[in-house]
Amino acid sequence: VIRKSTSPWASPVILVKKPNGTYRPCVDYRKLNACTTVNAYPLPRIDDLLDIVGNAKFITTLDLSKGYWQIPMEEGSKQYTAFTTPYGLYEFEMMPFGLHNAPATFQSLVNSLFA
């Protein structure tokens, strides 16, 4: 999911407290997101989804475990995902959480799979 990096980009890692009291490491991509071109792919609205399935006889749910990590990053984009740790600089090979365009990219892929 990650590899060592020599990127000129570097986002900090922060610890976010989870409800159970443990901590989750998260990359703070706010500065990267501020200079990212927005992908305007439409995300579904919950009320629209409920209207679509409202009269359905059957409904299937899928758990897309670590869904973002199933999407490979383009080689030229990996450098922008770099983050600093006490052990060095790393970058993602798969799409990480926190990128501004990650939800739109994920939704576009899911829509293409079910089209």
DSSP state of 97: T
Confidence check: pLDDT of 115 > 80: no
Domains of the chain: 2-113 (3.10.10)
Terminus-to-terminus CA distance in the chain, angstroms?
Answer: 28
Looking at residue 35, what is its pLDDT?
96
Residue 1 binned pLDDT confidence (cut-offs 50, 70, 90): very high
Looking at residue 93, what is its pLDDT?
98
**Averaged pLDDT for residues 16-37:** 97
Task: Give CA–CA dist 26/44, Å, rounded.
Answer: 25
**40 to 43, 49, 86, 106, 115: CA distances (angstroms):** 9, 19, 36, 12, 19
Q: Report, in angstroms and rounded to the nearest whole number, the Rg of the chain calculated over CA atoms.
A: 17
**Averaged pLDDT for residues 8-30:** 97
**Contact status, residue 32 vs residue 11, Cβ threshold 8 Å:** yes
Looking at residue 64, what is its pLDDT?
81
3-state secondary structure of 27: strand
pLDDT digits 0-9 by tens, 36-89: 999 999 888 999 888 888 888 888 888 887 889 999 999 999 999 999 999 999
